[in-house]
Amino acid sequence: MQSIVLAVLFFLSALLYSSVGHGGASGYLAMMGLVGVEPSMMKPTALCLNILVSAIAFWRFYSAKNFSWQFFMPLAMTATPMAFLGGMTHLPSYFYKPIVGAVLIFSALYSFKSANKLTSEKALKPVSKWLLAVVGAILGLLSGLTGVGGGVFLSPILLFNHWANPKTVAGIAGGFILLNSISGLFGVLSTGAKLPSELPLWLGVALAGGFIGATYGSKRFADPMLNKLLAVVLLIAGVKMLANF
């Protein structure tokens, strides 16, 4: 029953997150935290689902010409090795749960605050490639440590500093999350971590949700109300993780 419930929740997470170019890892972590999945299984599962959904999101947004190599390359060059390092690092439950809880609460606040801003367009500001490289390194390490792709942090940084428009941010985030998730998963698996037997089912539903969400999001603006509902779920899961560590 837990596997079926998670399948439905993963479908909804993939649908919502892929509509803004994300892989959905913070959503998957939130759902697993709510139903009591073992922390040792949470990170590799979230990364696997993230790879699939972010690949779809990246493809859809890139095909719609919502992408910038100028932004992406400095971020990716430093994030990828740091994500591998983070994936190799095993955090004890009493460290992992509060970190993930904090990530989920941040994700909730970002989802709520950015709900209306996703449809706005403002004058863009220039940014140094060195600064992007530093941002990539920090987010890559955090990605590998927690099992998120880093897009939930990258998107607000790019949006709130007006470095790129919302559609381009979605495309950049999709590629950034994809590389981080692949690198982080290799790091996790190199330590002997196991994947759950239910993973094929979860990948299938995430594929469906990700395709629908990315197709819709790459052509239309995200629905602010959906982002606000997602924020509530993330907030509940984050508080639960912090309360149980």
Please report the pLDDT score of residue 87 as a whole number: 93
- Residue 92 has a CB neighbour count (10 Å cut-off) of 9
- pLDDT digits (tens), the chain, 245 positions: 788 999 999 998 898 888 877 888 888 988 898 888 888 889 999 999 999 999 998 998 899 888 999 999 999 999 999 999 999 998 888 888 888 888 878 877 877 776 655 545 567 888 999 999 999 999 999 999 988 888 888 888 887 788 888 788 888 989 999 999 999 999 999 998 889 999 999 999 999 999 998 887 777 655 566 566 667 766 776 787 777 65
Contacts of residue 33, defined as CB under 8 A and 6 or more positions apart, other chains included, come to: 42, 100, 101, 104, 237, 240, 241
Q: Can you read off the two tokens belonging to residue 90?
A: 């095993």
Taking the C-alpha atoms of residue 116 and residue 238, their distance in angstroms, rounded to an integer, is: 23
- Angle 93-114/129-146 helices, nearest 10 degrees? 130
What's the gap between Cα 134 and its chain centre?
19
Distances (CA, A) of 167 to 37, 69, 141, 220: 34, 14, 25, 9
Please report the pLDDT score of residue 50 as a whole number: 94
**pTM for this predicted structure:** 0.84
Please report the pLDDT score of residue 82 as a whole number: 97
